[in-house]
Structure 1
Amino acid sequence: MGTRKNYEVDNATGRNHEGPHANAPVRRLTASSIIGDKVENLQGEDLGKIDNLMINIETGQIEYVVLEFGSFLGMGGKLFAVPYQQLYLNSDKECFVLDREKDAFQNMPGFDRNHWPDTNDHSYYDDVDVYWGATADSGRIF
């Protein structure tokens, strides 16, 4: 009888724990392994955590990552839709990286946890795309 693979550990960490090329490079992650992940800037400063994912149900692609910034113990933070292509995975640190300074969040379009923008109302997402300088369909590939 062989040993059973512990998929829960792999899914929770986003890393495969066996094989000669385990998760190198990372190509697929479960939504549950992304939600809650830490986000840092290029200087290694904490920018918050991934609160949720916005998926385009027509294309199946993640359009936006909902980033929680400025909270302390889950209180007082604001949420920001960030085009998924603006993030890249740092698999060594097991976090995502966003090329923005902390003070950029003062001018970034955001929303309150209790007042999400209507997902089919394009005005908020148009503001997000204008802020980031591109539509969600034309982001960078890492």
Structure 2
Amino acid sequence: MAHYHETSTLIGADKVEGTDVYNTAGEHLGTIHEIMIDKTSGKVAYAVMSFGGFLGMGEKYHPLPWSTLTYDVNQAGYVVNLSKQQLQDAPVFDEDEETFLSDRAYEKRVHDYYGTTPYWGL
């Protein structure tokens, strides 16, 4: 079975996962843990960024609205316009929490924090 990972404008989700995330100051913030896609529209809703922890233990996760990320070829990673302090104050969840995945109010808080339009529209 053939696997298609990327073209000039398309990339497979499996290739995005594990990609580094930096802020505009060049500081490493974490890596893309997972891509969340809206089942109905097919739009990429979030890149869930993992950070912290040691050997996969105690990691935290930030749902970043997809629109907050820009791919930077020079860094071979995604860039967000956030300081480390802004990220520390951003919505976060633990691996065993499912709040993010099933709570529209939580998702709205995420979009409000980043000042982005929700992927589902209003």
Q: TM-score, normalised by structure 1?
A: 0.74
- Would the aligned equivalents of 1:84 and 1:136 in 2 still touch at CA under 8 Å? no
| Aligned with residue 93 of structure 1, among 75, 78, 102 | 75
**Cα deviation 1:55-106 (Å, max 9, x = unaligned):** 1111101011101122333232210111001001012321111111112122
Pair 1:60-2:46 in alignment: no
What amino acid does structure 2 have at the position aligned with 1:46?
H
Distance (whole Å) between structure 2 residues aligned to residue 70 and residue 103 of structure 1: 14
Q: Which residue of the partner structure matches residue 90 of structure 2?
A: 108
Higher strand share: 2
Q: Percent identity?
A: 30
1:137 Cα deviation from its structure 2 partner: 3.3
| Higher radius of gyration, 1 or 2 | 1
1:119 offset after TM fit, Å? 2.5
Q: Which segments of 5 or more consecutive residues in structure 1 lack a partner in the other structure? A: 1-6, 15-22
2:117 paired with 1:135: yes
Moved more, 35-44 or 114-123: 114-123
1:117 aligns with one of 88, 94, 99: 99
- Structure 1 segments, 4+ long, off by >6 Å, are none
List alignment gaps of at least 5 residues for structure 2: none
Give me the whole-angstrom Cα distance separating, in 1, the residues matched to 2:116 and 2:32: 21
Once residues 33 and 72 of structure 1 are traced to their aligned partners in structure 2, the CA distance between those partners, rounded to angstroms, is: 23
For residues 36 and 122 of structure 1, the distance between their equivalents in structure 2, rounded to whole angstroms, comes to 26
CA RMSD of aligned residues (A): 2.0
Query: How far did 1:118 drift?
Result: 5.2
